[in-house]
Amino acid sequence: MTTKTAAAAARATVYGYPRQGQQRELKKAIEGYWKGRVTADALRATAAELRRTNWQDLADAGITEVPTGDFSYYDHVLDTSVMVGAIPGRHRAAFDAGTLDGYFAMARGTRDVAPLEMTKWFDTNYHYLVPELGPDTVFTADSTRQVAELGEALALGLTPRPVLVGPVTYLLLAKPAPGVSADFDPLTLLDRLLPVYAEVLADLRAAGAEWVQLDEPALVQDRTPAELNAAARAYRDLGGLTDRPKLLVASYFDRLGDALPVLAKAPVDGLALDFTGAAAENLDALATVGGLPGKRLVAGVVNGRNIWINDLAKSLATLGTLLGLADRVDVAASCSLLHVPLDASLERDIDPGIVRWLAFARQKTAEVATLAKGLTQGTDAITAELAANKADLASRAASPITRDPAVRARASAVTDADARRSQPYPERTAAQRAHLGLPLLPTTTIGSFPQTTELRTARADLRAGRIDTEGYEERIRNEIREVVSFQEKTGLDVLVHGEPERNDMVQYFAEQLTGYLATQHGWVQSYGTRYVRPPVLAGDISRPEPMTVRWTTYAQSLSDRPVKGMLTGPVTMLAWSFVRDDQPLGDTARHVALALRDEVVDLETNGTSVIQVDEPALRETLPLRAADRPGYLAWATEAFRLTTSGVRPDTQIHTHMCYAEFGDIVQAIDDLDADVISLEAARSHMQVAHELAEHGYPREAGPGVYDIHSPRVPDAAEAAALLRTGLEAIPAERLWVNPDCGLKTRGWPETRASLENLVAAARTVRAEIGTTGS
Ligand code: GLN
Ligand code: ZN
């Protein structure tokens, strides 16, 4: 295939780059600063050096237009709040003192002042700090940082393009400040915000920016006509300014849908669109609106959030089609590379043949540059790259890792009946009641007990070779003994082993499943200085041997009360990993589900009568567009049922989710057909119990009566009051008593006290409703 030469030389660009540095220098410097070991000047110098290195990296790789303003000490949405002067009143004084401390106080809080709330950035695992706005918010422009970083890049002789969070997305991500009515709509502040953006844009132009990028990912979500009108108004106003740089409005994570015609018509100079995954629909939509005559199109053809190599030939074909639809076409990754690790070539422990399938930020940058070169000079100029790419894609497609015949045969033989319990809930519950003999309002916990320093030391000792596996496992067994004896003494009804052997609820299983890869350097920013290293779901998944059985059975051997087995569910296993892009997610979920199903059955065979399959991520991977949700929920709930349906009717299946707002997936929760669900509720005052009841949820539920997110110990009266509220919605025969979530982040003193109070509350309320419990 030969592509015709683009009219103008196509530029290669990205919207952002990993911030932390190859040795995680930024994390170390910031945490050092917090501890007083690194001065503000030293921190600033480290940050400037990292920005310089990143730009140089990008330029060396062939990126012809580099982003500025994508760097952050904590979060780019917080930086936007600073840029527009939206500093909450409680942080004003510290912030005005002009040091970094005021900034970090907004992010992390201090002893006296609460931080901004933190939440997930669209459907990624990155968390941003939620802007707090109200009718009294006064915006003021502060372009200092943006201007300074632009200057740094210009001084290096580069062509920089500042990247800002766009005004519409900024307001759509905001929430009413504390004390402001919940009905307040931040979007009503648009007219006040636009002049501030105008000022920043003028400053950037004066400082030498030819182009400025305004990110509007909120426009890939379903938007009301009023919200689309606001977007139209924003870009009519900003586009109409006389003293401004050229404006590039960027969207990513999904298709623009109804917002595409709005932006196509706006008097801005270019659009950046995502053409990967579900967003590939942008291609047809663009043709339908007649393309972008007179505008620049930046085409995100390299997926910016997965870790797989691009299909270069396919991307070139897409780019070739796009050439006819815009004034000029440039090449980019679909979103900021913030969401991927830095460099796959650092992964020395992964088979080099497999490393060739992986593209982290550095590799994606090279792909973008290669595609731009091919688009500009024709495919002959990139023959070697295309040939290597084709070979790597072929090796991945044909590998026994991605094609395990046994796994494939089993997955395609799955029937509807495999994903159904053998009896409906009413019959199961009778069998379980007889089998388990639990009191009314049974008490339990969510699984983990405090991860103590001793446990962390034991793991570190094992890694460093100071103790052997035998020594490590002895320490784990000691911990299990303590956890079990504490629960017996406290009077809990369904016990757990406490998960002391688990570093992380996904990684622990990923390490034991065939088809999963662990990375050494695959760090991705979750929030602030917290980075996670998601495992890579690379191939067909199978379970060579039982993963949890010996710990659960050991705990069970110590007690006559039922010990609950504890597994991470298939949806969460996918959500907190890098998933494969070479088959539908539903197929991958089915592989994981079948492996977990074997574990569930083995637990039952070895005497476990209660098994909990955690799915805290069920809601967070809900697609951004409502039209895509039924498809997702169908495979997600099927995967859960496939995991849990291999057991006898008298084995009780629990699940757990930790979020308070789940109104939009209550039907899906019902479709899981779990016998018992525990949910976060203490902070929302049992609202979830009412939502379940309104939906007619027919099975057992344990809305949390102890908020584990804080060290505060609820007293027995408070827990009992929450229980009574729960009873207004859920009858006593179906109500469980438990905390909100796992206890791994808590200390022992508050855990002990809180669980004692929780059991006391259950006993009090049992007595009130006229039965005698245990
Ligand atoms: N069983 C897990 C625990 O208790 C559940 C964790 C979670 O919900 N995120 O730690
Ligand atoms: Zn939880």
Task: Give the C-alpha separation, 522 to 641, whole Å.
Answer: 32
Ligand lying nearest the CA atom of residue 679: 2
Tell me what the mean pLDDT of segment 197-224 comes to: 98
CB of residue 657 inside a 6 A radius of ligand 1: no
Question: Which atom of ligand 1 lies closest to the CA of 741?
Answer: 8
Q: Is the pLDDT of residue 693 over 70?
A: yes
Average pLDDT over residues 743-758: 96
Encode pLDDT of 123-133 as tens digits: 999 999 999 99
Contact 515, 537 (CB under 8 A): yes
- Which atom of ligand 1 is nearest to 742's Cα? 4
Which one of the ligands is nearest to 751 CA? Answer: 1
pLDDT band at 773 (very low <50, low <70, confident <90, very high): very low
Locate the ligand 1 atom nearest the alpha carbon of residue 657 and give its number: 8
State the CB neighbour count (10 A cutoff) for residue 466.
12
The answer to whether the beta carbons of residues 687 and 703 sit under 8 Å apart is no
Mark 359-371 as b/e (b = at least 16 C-beta within 10 Å): bbbbbbbbbbbbb
Average pLDDT score over residue span 390-404: 97
Rounded to 10 degrees, what is the CA torsion of 187, 189, 191, 192? -150
Give tens-digit pLDDT for 141-186: 999 999 999 999 999 999 999 999 999 999 999 999 999 999 999 9
The pLDDT tens digits for 596-647 are: 999 999 999 999 999 999 999 999 899 999 999 999 999 999 999 999 999 9
**The pLDDT of residue 660:** 66
Backbone torsions φ then ψ of 118, nearest 5 degrees: -120, 140
Residues 708, 712, 715, 718: is their CA dihedral positive or negative?
Answer: negative
Closest residue (by CA) to atom 5 of ligand 1?
Answer: 742
Q: What is the pLDDT of residue 195?
A: 98
pLDDT at residue 34 tops 50: yes
| Residues 548, 412: Cα–Cα separation, whole Å | 27
Euclidean distance between CA atoms 506 and 294, whole angstroms: 48
> Can you count the helices (H) and strands (E) in the chain?
28, 21
Count of beta carbons in the 10 Å neighbourhood of residue 181: 8
Distance CA 671, CA 679 (A): 16
- The pLDDT of residue 24 is 93
Angle at 268 between CA 277 and CA 329, to 5 degrees: 50
Q: List pLDDT tens digits, range 663-692.
A: 789 999 999 999 999 999 877 788 889 999
pLDDT value for 1: 41
pLDDT (tens digit per residue) in 86-126: 999 999 999 999 889 999 999 999 888 989 999 999 999 99
Chain center to CA of 150: 30
CA distance linking residue 475 with residue 360, whole number of Å:
38
Indicate whether 489 pLDDT > 70. Answer: yes
Decide if 257 contacts 625 (C-beta within 8 A): yes
Q: Are 211 and 270 in contact (CB under 8 A)?
A: yes
> How far is residue 155's CA from residue 176's CA, in Å, rounded to a whole number?
41
CB 719 within 8 A of CB 667: no
| Per-residue pLDDT band at 3 (split at 50, 70, 90) | very low
- Give the pLDDT of residue 2: 43
Specify the pLDDT at position 684: 79
User: What are the structure tokens assigned to 312, written together?
Assistant: 């270069």
Residue 772 has pLDDT above 60, yes or no: no
**Residue from 552, 563, 614, 659 whose mutation best tests the ligand 1 pocket (most atoms within 8 A of CB):** 614
Establish whether 127 is a catalytic residue.
no
Is 771 a residue whose pLDDT tops 60? Answer: no
Question: Considering the chain, what is the average pLDDT of its residues?
Answer: 95
> Torsions phi, psi of 220, nearest 5?
-90, 0
- Mean per-residue pLDDT for 233-250? 97
| pLDDT at residue 658, as a whole number | 84
- CB distance 744 to ligand 1 below 6 Å: yes
Beta bridge partners of 161: 67
Predicted local confidence at residue 98, as pLDDT: 80
Handedness of CA 197, 200, 205, 206 (dihedral sign): positive
Let me know how long the chain is. Answer: 774
Query: Residue 99: what pLDDT?
Result: 82
Sign of the alpha-carbon torsion through 597, 599, 605, 607? negative
| Distance from the alpha carbon of residue 249 to the mean position of ligand 1, in angstroms | 40
Q: How far is the CA of 68 from the centre of ligand 2 (A)?
A: 37
Q: Between 40-60 and 25-34, two packed helices, what is the crossing angle to 10 degrees?
A: 170
Q: Kindly identify the ligand whose nearest atom is closest to the C-alpha of 446.
A: 1
Give the ligand 1 atom nearest the CA of 566: 1
